[in-house]
Every structure is written in structure tokens, then in C-alpha cells.
Structure 1
């Protein structure tokens, strides 16, 4: 089983666990998705991020 570095969106701390050791919130995978020039859904993904206010 491979372990991926994860990031807590609340306090921007990195961890290997699914729960942030500092605030107790859930963590997300810190790596960006793979790039593909033939990205069929990139337009929709960017629109959702823009509507939800994500800045990363």
C-alpha cells in the first residue's frame, strides 16, 4: 500500500494520515491531478472550482 502526502485545507499542514493531527479535520491529497492535453472535463472542473471559491 502506497501512502500519499495529504494536506489539511483548514490550517495548511501536511500529514500522511486521513485526519489532521492538529485540528482534527479531514485531509485531502496534496498532489494535483495528472495533466492531459485531451482533458474532456477540464472546462467543467474549472467552472465548479470558480463557483465554489477554490483558489488552488
Structure 2
């Protein structure tokens, strides 16, 4: 089994669990995605990211 540290999206605490033990919020991977210059879907991810922020 491979363990990766996760970060809670609501309280920003670090954990190894799928959910945060402090607040019960969802935990996302704390590591950035691998970069590839040949990424075909980069424009779609960037568009989704900026729509979330707006």
C-alpha cells in the first residue's frame, strides 16, 4: 500500500486519511500533478480552475 499525505480542503490540516479527522471535510492530495509538455487536457483543467475561483 502506498501512503501519500493529504490536505483538508476546508481547514487545511494534513492527514493520511480520506477525510479530515478534525473537521470531517474531504482531504485532497497535497502533491502537485506531474507536468508534461504534451498534456492534451491542460486547457480544460485551467478553465475549470479559473471557473471555480470566479
TM-score of the two chains, using structure 1 as the length reference = 0.88
Match of 1:26 in 2: 26
What is the root-mean-square deviation of aligned Cα atoms in Å?
Answer: 1.3
Deviation at 1:11, TM superposition (A): 0.7
TM-score of the two chains, using structure 2 as the length reference = 0.91
3-state SS of paired residue (1:7): strand
How many residue pairs were aligned?
54
- Structure 2 distance, partners of 1:18, 1:39, is 27
Gaps of 5+ in 2: none
